[in-house]
Amino acid sequence: MKNLEHKYSERGARLLGVLIALMTILGTINALDINAYYHPEAFLFLIGGITSYVLIVNNTKPLANKVGDGAVYFGWLGLLSAWIYIAYAGFNDFNPRELGLSAAYSMHPLFYGYIIKLLSLANET
């Protein structure tokens, strides 16, 4: 019985930690400009990447671990893909305003990936 109580108290502490982290992130985003952090294509990229990662990796890992790891891997792949495109097309007609926006958008997959990883930590076993 005591072991079960410890398990629930540990899970509650994890959920509280995730809640505090999310409140910190959302508070910072809201104070800056929430529109700068909205990029649905990056989120869709991650969903596809996470799904493929979960199907590819070893089935002995818990689902939460696979989701979190897949989110980080595909976050980095999304960032690198965007940087390759910026290097390919962004410097032909150099426009600092467009380059800044492209650089900001390129970071969204990684940002979302680490947030998903944070959420997955609360569900790890």
Amino acid 11: pLDDT: 77
Same domain, 8 and 62: no
Same domain, 85 and 25: no
Total of domains in the chain: 2
3-class SS letters over the chain: CHHHHHHHHHHHHHHHHHHHHHHHHHHHHHHHCHHHHCCHHHHHHHHHHHHHHHHHCCCCCCHHHHHHHHHHHHHHHHHHHHHHHHHHHCCCCCCHHHHHHHHHHHCHHHHHHHHHHHHHHCCCC
Residue range(s) defining the domain that contains residue 20: 1-37
Same domain, 108 and 81: yes
Write out pLDDT tens, residues 17-48: 888 999 999 999 988 888 888 889 999 999 99
Write out pLDDT tens, residues 77-119: 999 998 998 888 766 666 777 777 888 889 999 999 999 999 9
